[in-house]
Amino acid sequence: MSGLDKARRPGVRVIRIGVVGYGYWGPNLVRNFAELRGASLAAVADLDARKLEVVSRRYPVVTTTTRFQDLLEDPSIDAIAIATPVNTHFELGMAALKAGKHLWLEKPMAETSLQARKLMDEADKRNLVLLVDHTFIYTGAVRKMAEIIKAGDLGRVYYYDSVRVNLGLFQRDVSVISDLAVHDFAILEHLLGEHPTAISASGVNHFPGTPENLAFITLFYESGTIAHVNVNWLAPVKVRQILVGGSKKMITYDDLEPSEKIKIYDKGVSFTDDPQQIYEMRVGYRTGDMWAPKLDASEALSVESEHFVECITNRTAPITDGRLGLRVVELIETATSSMRGKGETVYVPRQGKEL
């Protein structure tokens, strides 16, 4: 019996969730929690009373408040989801854990790896579930890519190359690395199961007083895999494309494709090592079939919120737990430090590996 089924059994109390922050992303969480079986949306907090009026119109039975503290003091609330700006994550997240609430924290988990580690330790100490919302990990496309790579169908992963560009949305408090590259960092950690050893990143800020608006980031791995991530808020078109090249097969992932987001190509190269032909470069090109596997079309947040409730019910660690959240924050810090040093190679701290 899955944890979710247990949560639906008669007599088993549903998980009551409070959401903090009803700006751009919060409404997506509220909608998913409101529709989730095995859970109920208990309350929504936002500093802006006008946003709460919208909540009350859409969800008349849900309590609204401008005081986050009210959620902490409500003993009937089991879990709190925080969808406020990154600079508030540590303070609000720590307060929620100290009040004994399970925690859903938006990406990136915190501003610094020290803060992320403290949040992770606090959740561990109190045996509370901490899920960091790295939404892409729950998409049908990334789940399928992970399945293919983990089964060894791609062979050795040579490279990962991502383009994630569009016009805006400019953020006041975080750079394009924290806002967009964060998705690739989480996907890379999940797909490769390997933490990079070093990063080289370049980026600029074309508008004084705001963080970097575009960046080119290269991640180096001990296994020889190399990853490149191009993130940009100044592009005229929206592009969300990833290529993963392996020794046996290659994958393309276009997130904007309505169907056939993932395509697998049976293509590759081989070099002859015949000692008789040492002076000739003998390269063989293999061009086989291409196919588009069927993907689970469920909304990622719906899969993720179900997983959150299941983890609370069973007291198990989420796929995107505090450890993953911390490793992603380490990568943001390392990439930012390289970018501020005009692309110098910066080594990734080893702690991430040892967790």
Ligand X SMILES: NC(=O)c1ccc[n+]([C@@H]2O[C@H](COP(=O)([O-])OP(=O)(O)OC[C@H]3O[C@@H](n4cnc5c(N)ncnc54)[C@H](O)[C@@H]3O)[C@@H](O)[C@H]2O)c1
Q: Which of 26, 196, 203, 211 binds ligand X (CB under 6 A)?
A: 26
Total of residues contacting ligand X (CB under 6 A)? 22
Q: Which of residues 244-303 bind ligand X (CB under 6 A)?
A: none
Shorter beta-carbon distance to ligand X: residue 54 or 198? 54
CB of 119 to ligand X, least distance (A): 14
- The single-letter code of the amino acid at 143 is R
| 77 touching ligand X, by CB under 6 A | no
Shorter beta-carbon distance to ligand X: residue 34 or 47? 47
Q: Which of 84, 225, 230, 313 binds ligand X (CB under 6 A)?
A: 84
Q: Which of 4, 14, 34, 47 binds ligand X (CB under 6 A)?
A: 47
CB of 182 to ligand X, least distance (A): 8
Burial 246-282 (b: 16+ CB within 10 A, else e): beebbbbbbbeeeeebbebbeebeeeeeeeeeeeeee
* Separation between Cα atoms, residue 240 and residue 159, nearest integer Å: 17
Residues in the chain: 355
CB of 175 to ligand X, least distance (A): 12
CB of 269 to ligand X, least distance (A): 36
- The single-letter code of the amino acid at 250 is M
Shorter beta-carbon distance to ligand X: residue 247 or 298? 298
Q: Which of 74, 78, 111, 133 binds ligand X (CB under 6 A)?
A: 133
CB of 294 to ligand X, least distance (A): 24
| 74 touching ligand X, by CB under 6 A | no
| 83 touching ligand X, by CB under 6 A | yes
E strands, the chain, are 15-20, 39-45, 63-65, 79-82, 102-106, 130-133, 157-167, 198-204, 214-220, 226-232, 234-246, 250-254, 262-271, 283-291, 346-347
| 45 touching ligand X, by CB under 6 A | yes
| 21 touching ligand X, by CB under 6 A | yes
| 88 touching ligand X, by CB under 6 A | yes
Q: Which of 4, 8, 14, 25 binds ligand X (CB under 6 A)?
A: 25
Within 10 angstroms of residue 314's Cβ, the number of other Cβ atoms is: 14
Shorter beta-carbon distance to ligand X: residue 30 or 250? 30
* CA-wise closest residue to 29 among 123, 128, 135, 110: 135
* DSSP codes, 260-283: --EEEEEEEEEE---GGGTTS--E
Q: Which of 22, 33, 185, 221 binds ligand X (CB under 6 A)?
A: 22
| 135 touching ligand X, by CB under 6 A | yes
Shorter beta-carbon distance to ligand X: residue 101 or 107? 107
> Number of C-alpha atoms within 13 angstroms, CB side, residue 286?
15
Chain mean position to CA 183 = 5
| 211 touching ligand X, by CB under 6 A | no
CB of 74 to ligand X, least distance (A): 15
* DSSP codes, 197-231: SEEEEEEE-SSTTS--SEEEEEEE-TTS-EEEEEE
| 106 touching ligand X, by CB under 6 A | yes
* Cα separations in angstroms, 156 against 151, 152, 221, 264, 299: 11, 8, 12, 15, 30
The first and second tokens of residue 188, run together, are 């890379």
Q: Which of 19, 33, 63, 68 binds ligand X (CB under 6 A)?
A: 68
Which residues of the chain form contacts with ligand X (CB under 6 A)? 20-26, 45-48, 51, 68, 83-86, 88, 106-107, 133, 135
